[in-house]
Amino acid sequence: MTYPAIVTAQTAAEGAVPGALDRAFGQLSGAGGEPLSLSLQLLLVMGLLTILPALLLMMTSFTRIIIVLAILRQALGLQQSPPNQVLIGISLFLSLFIMAPTLERVNEAAIAPYSAGEIGAEVAIERAGDQFHAFMIRQTREYDLRMFADIADTPQFASPQEVPFSILLPAFVTSELKTAFQIGFMLFLPFLVIDLVIASVLMSLGMMMMSPMIVSLPFKLLLFVLVDGWALLMGSLASSFA
Protein backbone atom coordinates (compact mmCIF):
# COMPACT_ATOMS: atom_id res chain seq x y z
CA MET A 1 0.00 0.00 0.00
CA THR A 2 1.39 3.40 -1.02
CA TYR A 3 1.71 6.34 1.35
CA PRO A 4 -1.27 8.34 -0.11
CA ALA A 5 -3.46 5.26 0.32
CA ILE A 6 -2.44 4.94 3.96
CA VAL A 7 -3.25 8.60 4.58
CA THR A 8 -6.63 8.22 2.88
CA ALA A 9 -7.51 5.15 4.95
CA GLN A 10 -6.45 6.87 8.17
CA THR A 11 -8.54 9.94 7.36
CA ALA A 12 -11.58 7.78 6.60
CA ALA A 13 -11.18 5.87 9.88
CA GLU A 14 -10.89 9.10 11.88
CA GLY A 15 -14.03 10.44 10.26
CA ALA A 16 -15.98 7.24 10.90
CA VAL A 17 -15.86 7.51 14.70
CA PRO A 18 -17.52 10.94 15.01
CA GLY A 19 -20.02 9.90 12.37
CA ALA A 20 -20.93 6.77 14.32
CA LEU A 21 -21.34 8.78 17.51
CA ASP A 22 -23.55 11.27 15.71
CA ARG A 23 -25.77 8.49 14.46
CA ALA A 24 -25.84 6.74 17.84
CA PHE A 25 -26.72 9.82 19.88
CA GLY A 26 -29.04 11.56 17.48
CA GLN A 27 -26.75 14.24 16.02
CA LEU A 28 -25.96 16.04 19.26
CA SER A 29 -25.78 19.72 18.45
CA GLY A 30 -24.34 22.71 20.20
CA ALA A 31 -25.04 26.40 19.80
CA GLY A 32 -25.93 27.37 16.25
CA GLY A 33 -27.05 23.85 15.34
CA GLU A 34 -23.50 22.59 14.67
CA PRO A 35 -22.62 19.06 15.86
CA LEU A 36 -20.59 18.83 19.04
CA SER A 37 -16.97 17.78 18.78
CA LEU A 38 -15.96 14.20 19.49
CA SER A 39 -14.42 15.07 22.86
CA LEU A 40 -17.58 16.88 24.03
CA GLN A 41 -19.77 14.01 22.87
CA LEU A 42 -17.65 11.50 24.78
CA LEU A 43 -17.73 13.75 27.86
CA LEU A 44 -21.53 13.99 27.66
CA VAL A 45 -21.94 10.25 27.20
CA MET A 46 -19.64 9.41 30.13
CA GLY A 47 -21.54 11.87 32.31
CA LEU A 48 -24.84 10.23 31.41
CA LEU A 49 -23.43 6.76 32.12
CA THR A 50 -22.54 7.78 35.68
CA ILE A 51 -26.17 8.59 36.56
CA LEU A 52 -27.80 5.93 34.37
CA PRO A 53 -27.51 3.08 36.95
CA ALA A 54 -29.02 5.26 39.68
CA LEU A 55 -31.88 6.28 37.40
CA LEU A 56 -32.62 2.70 36.38
CA LEU A 57 -32.59 1.52 40.00
CA MET A 58 -34.90 4.34 41.07
CA MET A 59 -37.28 3.78 38.13
CA THR A 60 -37.79 0.05 38.68
CA SER A 61 -38.95 -2.29 41.44
CA PHE A 62 -35.41 -2.61 42.86
CA THR A 63 -35.87 -0.10 45.69
CA ARG A 64 -38.89 -1.82 47.23
CA ILE A 65 -37.34 -5.28 47.02
CA ILE A 66 -33.93 -4.45 48.50
CA ILE A 67 -35.48 -2.56 51.44
CA VAL A 68 -37.86 -5.42 52.26
CA LEU A 69 -35.02 -7.95 52.13
CA ALA A 70 -32.86 -5.78 54.38
CA ILE A 71 -35.70 -5.46 56.91
CA LEU A 72 -36.24 -9.22 56.80
CA ARG A 73 -32.59 -9.85 57.60
CA GLN A 74 -32.81 -7.45 60.52
CA ALA A 75 -36.01 -9.07 61.78
CA LEU A 76 -34.41 -12.51 61.72
CA GLY A 77 -31.51 -11.18 63.77
CA LEU A 78 -28.92 -12.07 61.13
CA GLN A 79 -26.21 -9.48 60.73
CA GLN A 80 -24.42 -10.63 57.57
CA SER A 81 -26.45 -13.55 56.30
CA PRO A 82 -27.51 -13.39 53.55
CA PRO A 83 -24.64 -11.03 52.64
CA ASN A 84 -25.24 -7.76 50.84
CA GLN A 85 -24.07 -9.19 47.52
CA VAL A 86 -26.68 -11.94 47.71
CA LEU A 87 -29.46 -9.50 48.60
CA ILE A 88 -28.50 -7.22 45.71
CA GLY A 89 -28.37 -10.16 43.32
CA ILE A 90 -31.80 -11.38 44.43
CA SER A 91 -33.21 -7.87 44.07
CA LEU A 92 -31.75 -7.46 40.57
CA PHE A 93 -33.06 -10.75 39.23
CA LEU A 94 -36.46 -10.35 40.86
CA SER A 95 -36.63 -6.82 39.44
CA LEU A 96 -35.80 -8.23 36.02
CA PHE A 97 -38.66 -10.71 36.39
CA ILE A 98 -41.10 -7.98 37.46
CA MET A 99 -39.96 -5.52 34.79
CA ALA A 100 -39.98 -8.12 31.98
CA PRO A 101 -43.31 -6.95 30.46
CA THR A 102 -42.16 -3.33 30.52
CA LEU A 103 -38.78 -4.23 29.00
CA GLU A 104 -40.51 -6.21 26.25
CA ARG A 105 -42.64 -3.19 25.37
CA VAL A 106 -39.52 -0.99 25.40
CA ASN A 107 -37.85 -3.39 22.99
CA GLU A 108 -40.85 -3.46 20.65
CA ALA A 109 -41.50 0.28 20.69
CA ALA A 110 -37.97 1.71 20.88
CA ILE A 111 -35.00 -0.64 20.66
CA ALA A 112 -36.08 -2.78 17.70
CA PRO A 113 -37.15 0.16 15.48
CA TYR A 114 -33.97 2.06 16.39
CA SER A 115 -31.77 -0.95 15.56
CA ALA A 116 -33.55 -1.26 12.21
CA GLY A 117 -32.91 2.42 11.46
CA GLU A 118 -36.60 3.29 11.37
CA ILE A 119 -36.43 5.94 14.12
CA GLY A 120 -33.77 8.18 15.59
CA ALA A 121 -32.21 8.09 19.02
CA GLU A 122 -34.38 10.91 20.38
CA VAL A 123 -37.60 9.16 19.35
CA ALA A 124 -36.35 5.85 20.77
CA ILE A 125 -35.49 7.45 24.11
CA GLU A 126 -38.90 9.13 24.22
CA ARG A 127 -40.74 5.89 23.51
CA ALA A 128 -38.70 4.00 26.11
CA GLY A 129 -39.41 6.75 28.62
CA ASP A 130 -43.14 6.45 27.95
CA GLN A 131 -43.08 2.75 28.88
CA PHE A 132 -41.21 3.38 32.14
CA HIS A 133 -43.54 6.32 32.81
CA ALA A 134 -46.56 4.01 32.50
CA PHE A 135 -45.03 1.52 34.94
CA MET A 136 -44.08 4.16 37.49
CA ILE A 137 -47.39 6.00 37.40
CA ARG A 138 -49.24 2.76 38.25
CA GLN A 139 -47.13 2.28 41.38
CA THR A 140 -47.26 5.90 42.58
CA ARG A 141 -49.80 7.15 45.08
CA GLU A 142 -51.95 10.06 44.04
CA TYR A 143 -51.18 11.82 47.32
CA ASP A 144 -47.45 11.77 46.61
CA LEU A 145 -47.97 13.10 43.09
CA ARG A 146 -50.17 15.90 44.40
CA MET A 147 -47.63 16.79 47.10
CA PHE A 148 -44.72 17.20 44.70
CA ALA A 149 -46.93 18.95 42.16
CA ASP A 150 -47.93 21.46 44.84
CA ILE A 151 -44.29 21.95 45.81
CA ALA A 152 -43.37 22.60 42.17
CA ASP A 153 -46.43 24.88 41.82
CA THR A 154 -47.64 23.15 38.68
CA PRO A 155 -51.24 23.17 37.42
CA GLN A 156 -53.45 20.12 37.79
CA PHE A 157 -52.75 17.44 35.21
CA ALA A 158 -55.58 16.35 32.94
CA SER A 159 -54.29 12.76 32.67
CA PRO A 160 -51.55 10.64 34.25
CA GLN A 161 -49.60 10.72 30.98
CA GLU A 162 -49.06 14.46 31.37
CA VAL A 163 -47.16 14.11 34.66
CA PRO A 164 -43.51 15.04 33.92
CA PHE A 165 -40.61 12.93 35.10
CA SER A 166 -39.40 15.78 37.32
CA ILE A 167 -42.49 15.22 39.51
CA LEU A 168 -43.03 11.51 38.87
CA LEU A 169 -39.54 10.40 39.92
CA PRO A 170 -39.59 11.75 43.51
CA ALA A 171 -43.23 10.76 43.94
CA PHE A 172 -42.49 7.22 42.74
CA VAL A 173 -39.50 6.82 45.07
CA THR A 174 -41.54 8.15 48.01
CA SER A 175 -44.36 5.70 47.29
CA GLU A 176 -41.91 2.82 46.96
CA LEU A 177 -40.30 3.65 50.30
CA LYS A 178 -43.67 3.80 52.02
CA THR A 179 -44.80 0.50 50.52
CA ALA A 180 -41.50 -1.18 51.39
CA PHE A 181 -41.73 -0.12 55.04
CA GLN A 182 -45.35 -1.27 55.22
CA ILE A 183 -44.35 -4.72 53.98
CA GLY A 184 -41.36 -4.72 56.32
CA PHE A 185 -43.59 -3.91 59.28
CA MET A 186 -45.81 -6.90 58.54
CA LEU A 187 -42.72 -9.09 58.24
CA PHE A 188 -41.28 -7.85 61.52
CA LEU A 189 -44.35 -8.58 63.70
CA PRO A 190 -44.17 -12.40 63.99
CA PHE A 191 -40.43 -12.33 64.71
CA LEU A 192 -40.97 -9.60 67.31
CA VAL A 193 -43.54 -11.82 69.04
CA ILE A 194 -40.99 -14.64 69.20
CA ASP A 195 -38.41 -12.29 70.71
CA LEU A 196 -40.89 -11.15 73.38
CA VAL A 197 -41.88 -14.70 74.26
CA ILE A 198 -38.27 -15.87 74.54
CA ALA A 199 -37.32 -12.82 76.63
CA SER A 200 -40.25 -13.46 79.01
CA VAL A 201 -39.34 -17.14 79.40
CA LEU A 202 -35.69 -16.36 80.10
CA MET A 203 -36.64 -13.72 82.65
CA SER A 204 -39.05 -16.08 84.41
CA LEU A 205 -36.29 -18.70 84.62
CA GLY A 206 -33.89 -16.19 86.07
CA MET A 207 -31.48 -16.43 83.12
CA MET A 208 -30.75 -12.72 83.00
CA MET A 209 -27.26 -13.03 81.50
CA MET A 210 -28.34 -14.97 78.40
CA SER A 211 -29.20 -12.85 75.38
CA PRO A 212 -32.78 -13.41 74.13
CA MET A 213 -31.60 -12.69 70.56
CA ILE A 214 -29.31 -15.72 70.58
CA VAL A 215 -32.00 -18.04 71.94
CA SER A 216 -34.75 -16.77 69.64
CA LEU A 217 -32.65 -16.95 66.47
CA PRO A 218 -33.09 -20.71 65.83
CA PHE A 219 -36.82 -20.46 66.54
CA LYS A 220 -37.20 -17.61 64.07
CA LEU A 221 -35.24 -19.50 61.44
CA LEU A 222 -37.35 -22.60 62.08
CA LEU A 223 -40.58 -20.62 61.70
CA PHE A 224 -39.37 -18.96 58.51
CA VAL A 225 -38.38 -22.29 56.96
CA LEU A 226 -41.56 -24.13 58.03
CA VAL A 227 -43.85 -21.56 56.40
CA ASP A 228 -41.65 -21.54 53.26
CA GLY A 229 -40.87 -17.90 53.90
CA TRP A 230 -38.67 -17.24 50.88
CA ALA A 231 -41.29 -18.46 48.41
CA LEU A 232 -44.03 -16.50 50.16
CA LEU A 233 -41.91 -13.36 50.28
CA MET A 234 -40.82 -13.50 46.64
CA GLY A 235 -44.35 -14.24 45.49
CA SER A 236 -45.79 -11.43 47.57
CA LEU A 237 -43.22 -8.94 46.33
CA ALA A 238 -43.83 -9.90 42.71
CA SER A 239 -47.61 -9.76 43.08
CA SER A 240 -47.43 -6.38 44.84
CA PHE A 241 -46.52 -4.82 41.46
CA ALA A 242 -49.45 -6.38 39.61
Asked if residue 229 and residue 199 are part of one domain, the reply reads: yes
Inside any domain, residue 52? no
Residues 33 and 85 placed together within one structural domain of the fold: no
Distance CA 196, CA 215 (A): 11
Indicate the residue type of 165.
F
Residues 104 and 200 in one domain: yes
123-161: per-residue pLDDT in tens?
A: 888 888 888 888 999 889 988 888 998 888 888 887 878
Predicted local distance difference test score (pLDDT) of residue 18: 42
Kindly calculate the radius of gyration of the chain based on its CA atoms and give it in whole angstroms: 26
How far is CA 160 from each of CA 66, 122, 139, 156, 167, rounded to the nearest angstrom? 27, 22, 12, 10, 11
Interacting residues of 92 by C-beta distance below 8 A, sequence separation 6+: 62
Ordered alpha helix ranges (H), 99-120: 100-106, 112-115
Tell me the C-alpha distance between 24 and 18, whole Å. Answer: 10
For position 29, what pLDDT does the model report? Answer: 46
Query: Residues with Cβ < 8 Å from 241, sequence gap 6 or more?
Result: 61, 98, 139
Residue 75 lies in domain: 61-239
User: What tens digit of pLDDT does each residue of 83-130 get?
Assistant: 889 999 999 999 999 989 998 998 888 888 888 888 877 888 888 888
Question: Within this chain, do residues 38 and 69 fall inside the same structural domain, yes or no?
Answer: no
In this structure, are 22 and 113 located in the same domain?
no
Q: Report residue 1's pLDDT band, with 50, 70 and 90 as the boundaries.
A: very low
> In the predicted model, what is the mean pLDDT of residues 49-67?
84
Same domain for 68 and 162, yes or no, is yes
Predicted confidence band at 65 (pLDDT cuts at 50, 70, 90)? very high
Q: Please indicate, yes or no, if residue 73 is contained in any of the structural domains.
A: yes
Inside any domain, residue 48: no
What's the rounded Cα separation, in Å, for the pair 122 and 181? 37
pLDDT above 90 as % of the chain: 15
Are both 94 and 153 inside the same structural domain? Answer: yes
Burial (CB count <10 Å: 0-12, 13-18, 19+), residue 75: buried
29 and 73 in a single domain? The answer is no
Measured CA to CA, the distance from residue 39 to residue 46 in angstroms comes to 11
Task: Specify whether 27 is located in the same domain as 125.
Answer: no
pTM of the predicted model, to two decimals?
A: 0.75
For residues 11 and 68, membership in a common domain is answered with no
Let me know if residue 213 belongs to a domain: yes
Count other C-beta atoms under 10 Å from residue 174's C-beta: 17
* 30 assigned to some structural domain: yes
Residue 134 lies in a domain: yes
With respect to residue 53, please indicate whether it lies within any of the assigned structural domains: no
Closest CA to 240 of 120, 118, 138, 107: 138
Residue 49 lies in a domain: no
Lowest-pLDDT choice from 21-25, 78-82, 102-106: 21-25
What domain count does the chain have?
Answer: 2
Q: Do residues 12 and 115 both lie within one domain?
A: no
List the one residue out of 169, 141, 143, 160 whose CA is nearest residue 57.
169
Identify whether residues 76 and 35 lie together within a single domain. no
| pLDDT confidence band for 23 (50 / 70 / 90) | very low
